[in-house]
Amino acid sequence: MSFDSFALDKRIMAGVTSAGYVSPTPIQIQAIPPLLAGHDLLGLAQTGTGKTAAFVLPILQKLLGLDLRDHKAARVLVLAPTRELALQIHENFTALGCKTGIRSAAVYGGVNQVPQVKNLRQATVVVACPGRLLDLMNQGLADLSQVDTLVLDEADRMLDMGFAPDIRRIVSRLTGKRQTMLFSATMPAQIRNLTREYLLDPVEVKAESSGQVEAISHVFYPVPAHLKGGLLEELLRVTDHKSLLVFTRTKHRAKSLSRKLESKGFASTFLQGNMSQNQRQEAMTGFRSGRYKIMVATDIASRGIDCDRISHVINFDMPDTAESYTHRIGRTGRARRSGEALSLITSEDAEQVRAVERILGESVERKKLGGFDYSAPGRAQSRTKPVRAASRKTSTSNTRIFMDRQDSRA
């Protein structure tokens, strides 16, 4: 199937071509026609399936059909859980709409609001995190009175992050008839409720698992907790990676693990919730450009990381839920490229391991890294003890625990 079958305006097709898209992904094939026909839509899809373009393209088409010459206010509102995701969606509108003259503005907290308000005044599409948008609305600085298209992206994450009341307040101010789309990676009861509240007779679409999950191979590395740091280091040395994302459970650990890796000669950076917007952007730009081959991140900070080059995701700490696992590995194998998901599992992770295998519908291969000393004692019994791996030039210590376990959650 090709993009031609959607009969999109040629200015939009120019954007599709310059983005390098050749054929639509499964979610795009399912979602674009009903959206073009004006239906509401419920999309069960995670990041990495091409879901952003699945709503951006029909929205651009709809906007080109309107007379926007005298427009004074936004027509499209996209709500997203994090600034990274908001920026990524905004960039998608800008890239795919590069020949349409349609302007998009990104609105998110943690930065000066003045430039955002200026952009907002000229934008037809507003991509916003709920908190900052509500702030601007309360100051009378965001006019949503003309919005007739609403997208709730990564709705499950927005609810997880406690945005439900903000979303409700924002949506209550949208008056008049509108087309609404809701995308979510999971479909818990609260999302079903939100769907009933905001969507009218929606068409339901679901990203096929082959769009993403099957492109990724999963491996578990059982390891005693005190050897996780050493095993990670060894895995990084033997894994042929382009860009690699490492997940930790806590903010403190993301930072200290990254620093530790840097001190061992790895080009590493980190992303966690305590960073300023400038620090985040510096880290993301460095990671996207390949200056840093490794990024260590927490779950929340990682939402919306859009980097085509990620070849591996390593769970240094197993996530608390199987849904988080799915979100994490959604960072690799993006748009049907292949990727690898490696997880360091300890005896404490038995429950999460079972939940992940349930959601994948298969048991995951357990591997032992050859040449790694799994019997090395912990720090209490011995300080560092170098282990020389056969056929590897670099010796490394595998007995250090990188971090303690008590730091705060991300």
Q: Which residues form the interface with ligand AMP (CB under 6 A)?
A: 21, 24-25, 28, 47-53, 306, 308, 334-335
CB 353 within 8 A of CB 207: no
Q: Which of residues 21 and 402 has its CB atom nearest to ligand AMP in the complex? A: 21
Q: Which of residues 211 and 230 has its CB atom nearest to ligand AMP in the complex? A: 211
Q: Which of residues 247 and 372 has its CB atom nearest to ligand AMP in the complex? A: 247
Six token digits for residue 297:
């991140």
Q: Decide: residue 320, CB within 10 A, 0-12 exposed, 13-18 middle, 19+ buried.
A: middle
37 phi/psi in degrees, rounded to 5:
-80, 0
Q: Which of residues 299 and 373 has its CB atom nearest to ligand AMP in the complex? A: 299
State the minimum distance, in angstroms, from the CB of residue 15 to ligand AMP: 11
State the minimum distance, in angstroms, from the CB of residue 407 to ligand AMP: 30
Q: Sheet holding 365-366: strands in order across?
A: 268-271, 294-297, 243-247, 310-315, 339-345, 216-222, 365-366
Q: Which of residues 229 and 330 has its CB atom nearest to ligand AMP in the complex? A: 330
Six token digits for residue 335:
């748009």
DSSP assignment of 17-56: HHTT--S--HHHHHHHHHHHTT--EEEE--TTSSHHHHHH
Q: Decide: residue 344, CB within 10 A, 0-12 exposed, 13-18 middle, 19+ buried.
A: buried
State the minimum distance, in angstroms, from the CB of residue 44 to ligand AMP: 13
State the minimum distance, in angstroms, from the CB of residue 142 to ligand AMP: 25
State the minimum distance, in angstroms, from the CB of residue 243 to ligand AMP: 13
Q: Which of residues 21 and 108 has its CB atom nearest to ligand AMP in the complex? A: 21
State the minimum distance, in angstroms, from the CB of residue 328 to ligand AMP: 14
Q: Which of residues 24 and 319 has its CB atom nearest to ligand AMP in the complex? A: 24
Q: Which of residues 6 and 198 has its CB atom nearest to ligand AMP in the complex? A: 6
Percent of the chain as helix, strand, coil, to the nearest 5: 40, 20, 40
Q: Which helix (H) or strand (E) holds 270?
A: strand 268-271
Q: Which of residues 59 and 345 has its CB atom nearest to ligand AMP in the complex? A: 59
HEC secondary structure over 273-341: CCCCHHHHHHHHHHHHHCCCCEEEECHHHHCCCCCCCEEEEEECCCCCCHHHHHHHHCCCCHHHCCEEE
State the minimum distance, in angstroms, from the CB of residue 330 to ligand AMP: 8
**Three-state secondary-structure class, residue 269:** strand
Determine how β-strand 386-388 pairs with β-strand 268-271.
unpaired
State the minimum distance, in angstroms, from the CB of residue 50 to ligand AMP: 3
Q: Which of residues 46 and 258 has its CB atom nearest to ligand AMP in the complex? A: 46
CB 227 within 8 A of CB 210: no
Q: Which of residues 102 and 185 has its CB atom nearest to ligand AMP in the complex? A: 185
- Interhelix angle 83-96/277-289, nearest 10 degrees: 60
State the minimum distance, in angstroms, from the CB of residue 306 to ligand AMP: 5
State the minimum distance, in angstroms, from the CB of residue 376 to ligand AMP: 40
What separation in angstroms does the CA of 109 have from each of 86, 116, 277, 386? 11, 10, 9, 46
Residues 6 or more apart from 99 whose CB is under 8 A from it?
Answer: 11, 12, 14, 15
> CA torsion sign, 66 to 67 to 69 to 75?
negative
State the minimum distance, in angstroms, from the CB of residue 308 to ligand AMP: 5
